[in-house]
Amino acid sequence: MTDTLKSIMDLFARSPFRPLNEHAEKVRLTAMKMDEAVKAYLDGDEAKVDTLFKEISTLEHAADHVKHTIRENMPSTLLMPVDRADIINFLKQQDDIANSAEIVSQMLWIKKVNITPAVKEAVLNLESEVMITVNAHVDAVGKIVNLLDSSFSSKRVKEIQSIINEVDTHKHNVDVARVKTIKTIYENEEALGTIGVYHLVELVEELAWVAGHAENASDRIRIIVARR
């Protein structure tokens, strides 16, 4: 038995929901490394981008492995206070956060674009909003795991719903920052070049998807709580 499998099984022995939090933390770590890679890219540090690209790929694979381990070791007959299908759907959405983070790192590694100060500022603002959304989601997962392991008091349910609403608000901020960033990119088209503009717009869209998947995963939490 591998160390990862043993860890997951030990968690299942204590609670069928604890592994969800372990997966969430691995996803957060992947996103944090993506954040470092974006900043290195904007600073023109190609060597650091290359190193982080490899680290992110490894982290995404680790998160994927945890996801598969959870799915394969969650018996269909396991008596749980929530629908097993909801848990599986939640895992898929949460894992997509790490998938998009890896795609962002690939795009950073594939092509270097000389960034103007205005574009750098806009992308940094977008990146900050993306990370706030991801962190809010992972914090919500920790809360929901504690809730699932205890009684569903109305106070605890309202607390979870409030946190999920915060994720929605942060995702809205990402949407606003995304549009502003794309506009800034086009305003700097002469300096960036046509290919540079295309590459950066695609990068911005994928960055926004990191937050989008976090929102989708949190929505699955909302469904789990509502059905409970």
pLDDT of residue 146: 73
The per-residue pLDDT for range 141-161, each reduced to its tens digit, is 887 777 766 655 677 777 778
Q: Find the Cα–Cα–Cα–Cα dihedral 131, 136, 137, 138, rounded to 10°.
A: 90
The per-residue pLDDT for range 6-48, each reduced to its tens digit, is 554 454 444 556 788 889 999 999 999 999 999 999 999 999 9
pLDDT of residue 8: 42
Average pLDDT score over the chain = 87
Q: Calculate mean pLDDT across residues 57-84.
A: 77
Who has greater pLDDT, 207 or 77?
A: 207
Distance of CA 156 to the CA centre of its chain: 24
CB 17 within 8 A of CB 148: yes
pLDDT of residue 144: 76
**Top-tier CATH class for 3-227:** mainly alpha
Question: Which residues fall within 8 angstroms of residue 179, CB to CB, at 6 or more apart?
Answer: none
CB 220 within 8 A of CB 204: no
Q: Calculate mean pLDDT across residues 166-178.
A: 95
